Structure 1
Amino acid sequence: MQPESPAERPAEFSAGVPRLLEAMRSIGTDLELRSTLDRICETAAELSGARYTAIGVVDETGDGYAEFVTYGRAEDLIERIGVPIRVQGRIFGHLYLADKRGGTEFTGQDLHMTRVLATAAGIAIGNARLYEAARQRERWIDGSVAVTTALLSGGDTTDPLAVVAEQARRLADADAGVVLLPTGDGGLEIVAVCSDTPSTRLGAVLPASPVVSALLDGESVFMDDAASEARSSGFADAYGPLMLLPLESGGRVLGALATPRGRGARRFSETERILAGQFASQAALALMMAEAQRDRERLAVLEDRDRIARDLHDVVIQRLFATGMMLESGRTRETAAEVRTGMGKAIDELDVTIQEIRTAIFALQQTPDEEPSGLRTRVLREIKMAAVPLGFVPGHRFVGPLDTAVGEMTGKNLIAALREALSNAFRHAHATRIEVVVDAAAALDDGTDAVRLSVADDGVGVPEGGRRSGLRNLSRRAEALGGSSRVEGGLGPGGGGTTVVWQAPRAPEPS
């Protein structure tokens, strides 16, 4: 290239100034970085007569190019001009020109115009970067708002962790979004994954490690190539750049958020790391707020259910009991047979209604997410409920492994039999003492492992010709399971009173 100054060729330089000014105005009108780079390359080729131009924009570390855009094609690089793109002393990139048309050399005027163009390009690139950074911040802020809105208004069908994973993946332009929660042994379990391909790592656990410990301590971890870093612990062995961010709010670490990119993808910039950290903090706060809101809603439901249960127990059941007692006392020998029969049916219907209400009360007293109670607990609840109309608490004794050995079907029928026996003792026996024994170590006559229920009282016993519909119900329940039911003497003097013995296989074969 000739060391020619613009002053040595004033006519040509003056003629190019209007075109240069017009090009600079054109470049400055675009705020999109990629289109700005394309326009710079095209303009440089037009003004210099180069068949090939290229522009490289350095990344934030200055170690390489974040963007590299070319224009034209240079098969034989006769001569090349390369000038730095600076703004306020900072190098944003480099502008390259090669293969001048006509096979001539680039002149001093070309170099000067290229430097002026590079200055304009630096300003345009700086503006484009500021614009892109502003748009990026806006996207992350919108994403944080979307997460908060979804978690606080999504209802019971919304998986809050899946929402966080989905938004994080989109905002970070990552291949996946992953949410991890602490395990009891210092590890992290993958509980939510958002990716294009079905994840096989859902439920996988990252064991305790320096990286996991850092996350649980509230520190962020960044990797430029997770697949080659031993500290990734195999979590992202198919990925490249990786951000691991703690989900922390108010000094409490709820878990971690991971956003990996594919191998060879651009690494996360400092701006992206800062914005992702802010997003993770906001997501953690939203998760805590959503959980608090759900707790309040559950508490309101439980309080309402408790009120309903109290009303049913204290008012409805007591009135039904009183009605049943009046009907029972009205069944005298002087009453017509048809009337006695009708009153007996009415009493039976009241018994069934009371049992159904008591079952509903038990259900209302359980929390929505409570696991079904064990058999021992259900027996104790029946005894406690029966204490209200009886005026005393029946005694009880358990033998054998009730909660682990007795099947669900047998357990349900045993509870129904206990309820029937206690109801009969209250309505007919006029007992002052009742003893309940549940033996899960019993056996049937053929040696089959069984559970045996005994309800003994010191009442008046079963009168001759007395109503036995309840006893027939007990027998039918036991026989349907392959068991039996019988009535024996009770706790009164000389064996007075009644003992109902009900037994069935602990785990009957399905019919």
Structure 2
Amino acid sequence: MSIHSHDDLATFREITSAVNHAVEAGTLPEVLERIAEATRKLVNARYAALGVPDHEGSLQYFMVAGMTHDEVANLRGHEPQGLGLLGAIMDERHTIILDDMKSDPRSVGFPPAHPHMTSFLGVPIQVGRQLFGMLYLSDRADGQPFDEDDQWLVETMAGYAALAISGVRIGEQQNRINLLEERKRIGMDLHDGIIQSLYAIGMQLELARLSGKATQEDLQASVVALNDVIDDIRDFIMDLRAVSYSKQTVYDSLADVISRLHVPEQIVIDVQAPDQLAICSPIVLEAACQIAHEAISNALRHAEADHISVKAIQSSGIFRIEVADNGKGFDLDRLNQHQGLGLRNIQQRARLHNGSVRIHTAVGEGTRLTVSIPVKIHSSKENGRVGRAAR
């Protein structure tokens, strides 16, 4: 063990420091991932995981620590569903500690390609009877079974983790409330301005129809008024987009793109992007997100892939978007001769901002599309958070 129970003060400091670091991540998936990794290190275990239940008895989130990228990739399609010992923590809501998990009747075994695991320590993350999640650990690095000191450490971490997860949930709820209030404000603005203008034009046209005396000048005046309203709507939409992209981080902007797509359950989309405001203008960020939307849509429709990665990179003077898939790929020479509408749209959007498009693909090797846009540094609030995943 890396921490001993007789040094309680140092232990509490390490736990509170780890939880504070986790909360700085901001979004729940990365908070969970950081807590799982911190707990794994705390008891010097080989593997750790943190699960958050949904409202149907399964798992909404399941973040792992200690596995390699290849080990995680091999388990795609066999994600935990909250059964066996994982579900026992959810149902029984008390600590379970086992020297050999496969000997326990609640164990349901492992899927193919799962790393071999022997010992088990599972702890509910809860306040009172409210369950926020479950911490799972397996196999101490020294080969010894988990003991009472390990149990105390993980239960202490779980108590702090409950507060951290609760805080993030409250923040997410507040964001939803803010969004609803913003929608209400937008509705009022539309009603007081644009809708009233349309209503007035409609009344003028209706009066002209009923009188039967509408002149060409009357109709032309209505057309001019309608064009003015169209301009107002266009300006209104542009203002909304500018406000949205000026307030959202790069990651959140890309996550919104994916949320608007229909992603089949068997396809995983990973997002790696700075959790900070863009260095470019909101207009450029909007264009980059539209490009990402087009590229992801193309991959979903044509690539026959089960994994798509989306990366955004901000470097000095360059904003770069990369969309890659592990699908069937295609003949690039043939594509250049017969450009589809999707690729043409991507290239046109990039050119509007003096950007460039590079495509690397071959039959059977997947596809990687990279768009680079030169930018003048607009705004940046660095906090160093990257690599979150979205689905």
Q: TM-score with structure 1 length normalisation? A: 0.38
Structure number with the bigger relative contact order (C-alpha 8 A, sep ≥ 6) is: 2
